[in-house]
Structure 1
Amino acid sequence: MSDKISVGAISGAYGVRGELRIKSYCAVPEDIESYSPLSSEDGTRSFNLALVRPVKNGFVARITDVTSKEEADALRGTVLFAQRDQLPSLPDDEFYHTDLIGLEVYDTGGTLIGKVKTVQNHGADDLLETQLAGSAQTVFLPFTKVAVPTVDLATGRIIADPPEGILPDAKDV
């Protein structure tokens, strides 16, 4: 498990005085501010984030040392990470997306289905984008108790019971 968790991203400048538009990936979006200082993925940059006000799909924020639109624009696309120990502990049936990526997915009979490539959420439940074993093809498994009854982070395994029609027939692969 990584010691850094992605909590948001900088989506660009807001205005001309160095304010930034921030997307928060936190369950309580405003909590992103409390995890400062945040860092870039490689850890070379550190950001002390102060939320100014909410805007559509995010927040306006200030970061120390960013004083112009050009400096703010240069940070566009920067993913913001917090240290795992800064974040709240999760209940047993909740997981940080980063912890699921790379886990092997097996069916209830013990057959390897593939590996979790990404975790997507388009407004309803999370979906595990799973790259099928021995193939470049991916499928989306609903991340629900019914479809994914077991997640074992210690062994790096997920046991899935995919709904009918999610997995391709063997002849289709």
Structure 2
Amino acid sequence: MDKQPVRFQVGIIVKTRGLKGEVKVKSTTDFPSRFQVGAKLLTDKGTLKVAKSREQQGFWFITFEGYEDINAVEPLIGQNLYVNERHDQLAPDEFYVSDLLGLPVFTQSQEEVGRLKDVLHYGPNDVWVVKTLKDRELLLPYLPDFIKKVDLENQKIIVDLTLCTNEN
């Protein structure tokens, strides 16, 4: 079964910069290639093509084709920027969170624990929040000792709970 294309937010236009149509973008992606020259970004009002881009102090400064002055870009302020495709190659232990949320979680002995509810980004590793069958939240660090396998093909996550101190 093919999935419908999903829009991924990659940034938000926060303000204009200068008079020549440049905008300041707050990035919400870990992939800087999203803003390279020639990239196509979607908004709720249409498609924008990157003509120039540069990163500075944690923000992106972008000029779009066909937007030559401040008057042309002012209506873009506050617009979210999206992409449809996932063109970035991920390492074997990396996943798009949207693919993981809602997946059933099982122990290595195939006992169902619950479903993945959220992924929290704390410090050196992520923390996975599992909504258990007993309607509790189980927090698991994304470490090999806890998360044994993410099987996207069979739509399940395998975990080891032997190091956990409380009941699931």
Seq. identity, %: 19
Q: Which amino acid aligns with 2:106?
A: Y
TM-score, normalising length from structure 2? 0.72
Q: Alpha carbons of 1:31 and 1:10: their partners in 2 closer, same or farther (altered >3 Å)?
A: same
Q: Give how far 1:139 is off.
A: 3.3
Q: What stretches of structure 2 of length at least 5 have no aligned partner?
A: none
Q: What stretches of structure 1 of length at least 5 have no aligned partner?
A: none
Equivalence for 2:141 = 142
- In structure 1, C-alpha distance between the alignment counterparts of 2:51 and 2:122, rounded to whole Å: 27
Question: How many positions carry a matched residue from both structures?
Answer: 159
RMSD: 3.1
Q: Alpha carbons of 1:160 and 1:128: their partners in 2 closer, same or farther (altered >3 Å)?
A: same
Equivalence for 2:47 = 46
- Does residue 12 of the first structure (1) align with residue 14 of the second (2)? yes
Q: Give how far 1:23 is off.
A: 0.8
Which residues in structure 2 correspond to 1:79-118 (within 5 Å)? 80-84=82-86, 87-118=87-118
Q: Alpha carbons of 1:169 and 1:3: their partners in 2 closer, same or farther (altered >3 Å)?
A: same
The 8 Å contact of residues 16 and 74 in structure 2, kept in 1 or not, is answered as: no
Question: Which protein has the bigger helix share?
Answer: 1
Q: Alpha carbons of 1:120 and 1:81: their partners in 2 closer, same or farther (altered >3 Å)?
A: farther
Equivalence for 1:74 = 78
- In structure 1, C-alpha distance between the alignment counterparts of 2:153 and 2:129, rounded to whole Å: 21
From 10, 31, 34, the equivalent of 1:32 is: 34
Q: Deviations over 1:77-98 (max 9, x none)?
A: x2522413xx133343332222
Equivalence for 1:158 = 157
Q: Alpha carbons of 1:51 and 1:169: their partners in 2 closer, same or farther (altered >3 Å)?
A: farther
Greater radius of gyration (CA): 2
